[in-house]
Amino acid sequence: MKVITNNQNSMRGHEITLSKSKPFPVSRENCVQVRGARVHNLKHVDIDVPRNALVVFTGISGSGKSSLAFGTLFAESQRRFLDSVSPYARRLIDQVGEPDVDSIDGLPPAVALQQQRGTASARSSVGSVTTISNGLRMLYSRAGEYPKGQSILYADAFSPNTPDGACPRCHGIGRVFDVTEDLLVPDPTKTIRNGAIAGWPPAWGAELARYPHLFGS
């Protein structure tokens, strides 16, 4: 650190020097006040986090950065938000659990961008990865007016991943996979024993050899 700050040509060193000489002025009323945080490896941590500012938690692995940011601050913000929605809507939202903390004051609404990457699948979309689709499904089921004679549709009816909302032909994937005879048997001149069926693995050759009278020479 001294090498960087003593270098007159280093812009980063100049920024560090200015940050030390001019501390960020903030009052307790403009802070998120955390008292007695005990999530995971946090040991009764008391901290005031400035609002309306870019705040970075740094430290070695296992020092409690994620426990403070995600497990405490975001978890408490989500808990307060979930208290305002119905139990039916809560099951559509991924919950991180209630934090082990004495008190948190001055906490605004929060959005968490998790560190890990999601596992993609054939059913993944922007809405499912960001969980935006959960709120949209709930909105579609509650907002607006139903036509005369239309029964009430719940949020599951607007999801391609549930039996109520999935297309009966593609089952919610968006693609239909049909097996044709040309794909199944690309070379009709071959016998089954010689590999006529393209989808069968070569290891099945030993099994076919046990019944030569059924599958030809």
For residue 147, what are the domain limits?
Answer: 122-176
Give exposure, 170-209, as e/b (b: 16+ Cβ within 10 Å). Answer: eebeeeeeeeeeeeeeeeeeeeebeebeeeeeeeeeeebe
Residue type at 173 in one-letter notation: I
Contact of 48 with 32, CB cutoff 8 Å: yes
* pTM of structure: 0.49
* Same-domain check for residues 69 and 145: no
Structure token digits, residue 38: 């005990």
Return the half-sphere exposure (C-beta side, CA atoms, 13 A cut-off) of residue 212: 2
The DSSP annotation for 15-84 comes to HHHHHHHSPPP--GGGEEEEEEE-STT--SEEEEEESSS------STTSSHHHHIIIIIIHHHHHHHHTT
| pLDDT tens string 70-100 | 999 999 998 888 888 777 777 777 777 889 9
**Does residue 28 sit in the same domain as residue 12?**
yes
Would you state the structure tokens that stand for residue 52, as one six-digit string?
């309306």
Q: Say whether both 84 and 157 belong to one domain.
A: no
Q: How far is 164 from 120, CA to CA, in rounded Å?
A: 23
- Whether residues 205 and 165 fall in one domain: no
**131 & 101 share domain:** no
Give the position of tokens 């001294």.
Answer: 2
> How many domains is the chain built from?
3
Q: Do 34 and 81 belong together in one domain?
A: yes
Please tell me the distance from the alpha carbon of residue 191 to that of residue 186, in angstroms, as a whole number. Answer: 12
Give the model confidence (pLDDT) of 143-195 as tens digits.
Answer: 878 888 888 888 888 888 888 888 888 888 888 888 888 888 888 888 777 77
DSSP state of 121: -
73 and 13 part of one domain: yes
Are 130 and 209 members of one domain?
A: no
Kindly state whether residues 164 and 110 are assigned to the same domain.
no
Distance separating alpha carbons of residues 82 and 154, to the nearest angstrom: 19
152 and 94 in one domain?
no
132/41 same-domain check: no
Q: Domain with 99 in it: what CATH number? A: 3.40.50.300
Please report the pLDDT score of residue 116 as a whole number: 67
Residue 103 pLDDT level (bands cut at 50, 70, 90): very high
Task: Supply the pLDDT for residue 17.
Answer: 56
